Chains A and B, each alone.
Chain A
Amino acid sequence: KAGVTQTPRYLIKTRGQQVTLSCSPISGHRSVSWYQQTPGQGLQFLFEYFSETQRNKGNFPGRFSGRQFSNSRSEMNVSTLELGDSALYLCASSLDTVSSYGYTFGSGTRLTVV
């Protein structure tokens, strides 16, 4: 079966712009979580969506937002980009909100803010 698909794979933006990243989960998976990964901070939880509702949110500013569609696909948006937003953004999907089968991650979107 197809894995978690994240698009685009690479992105370069300038400060002040906004960006939208996309994640298509594994078919049948209803939970989608987003993470930011940087060398200094590691994997940090952004938010989780389940059945189009945000269940949890990490400690990120309001510039970071997301949504989930009825087909479970998810997007995250970052407005007013800052240099510090440069990171690998990862999305993970699971069957349910607490998955005893683990989470399946996509390959990520590498965002560079210049």
Chain B
Amino acid sequence: SQKIEQNSEALNIQEGKTATLTCNYTNYSPAYLQWYRQDPGRGPVFLLLIRENEKEKRKERLKVTFDTTLKQSLFHITASQPADSATYLCALENNDMRFGAGTRLTVKP
């Protein structure tokens, strides 16, 4: 069966460090992989999309990598700030879009 796994339910890091979140999938051939941020009680907010033929995508302090051989995406937030604290969701798209369970990131001052 198809599975999307985000490696950690929760991740705590110190302000200024790089946060690295992992998304692994099985039995999928996604055309796109997306990352979203969700704050409590709100809908997810789109951050980045990477296509199956792309290895890396950057946007300001965010970087996403996509390895279709390993079936894995890594999401990095550099120079993290307390305001980056949120749940981060990966989503795979191929006909429809399915989400991982999310990783709750806490950045401590």
Inter-chain CA distance A100–B34, complex, in Å, is 9
Inter-chain CA distance A58–B44, complex, in Å, is 19
Dominant secondary structure at the A interface: strand
- Proximity string of chain B (69-90) to chain A, C-beta cutoff 8 Å, 1 when within and 0 when not: 0000000000000000000010
Inter-chain CA distance A102–B42, complex, in Å, is 17
Question: Could you tell me how many residues of chain B have their Cβ less than 8 Å away from some Cβ of chain A?
Answer: 23
Dominant secondary structure at the B interface: strand
Q: Which of A14-22, A66-74, A78-86, A105-113 contacts B (4 or more CB under 8 A)?
A: A105-113
Question: Is B100 a contact of A98 with CB atoms below 8 Å?
Answer: no
Residues in chain A near residue B96, CB distance under 8 A: 33, 45, 48, 55-56, 58
Question: Is B31 a contact of A92 with CB atoms below 8 Å?
Answer: no
Residues in chain A near residue B99, CB distance under 8 A: 35, 42-43, 45
Residues in chain B near residue A102, CB distance under 8 A: 34, 36, 46-47, 49
Q: Does A90 contact B (CB under 8 A)?
A: yes
Minimum Cβ distance to chain A for residue B30 (Å): 11
Minimum Cβ distance to chain A for residue B96 (Å): 4
Residues in chain A near residue B15, CB distance under 8 A: none
Minimum Cβ distance to chain B for residue A88 (Å): 8
A-B contacts, 20 listed (Cβ < 8 Å): A33-B96, A43-B44, A45-B96, A45-B97, A45-B98, A55-B95, A56-B96, A58-B96, A92-B43, A98-B31, A98-B93, A103-B46, A103-B97, A104-B46, A105-B36, A106-B43, A107-B42, A107-B43, A108-B42, A108-B43
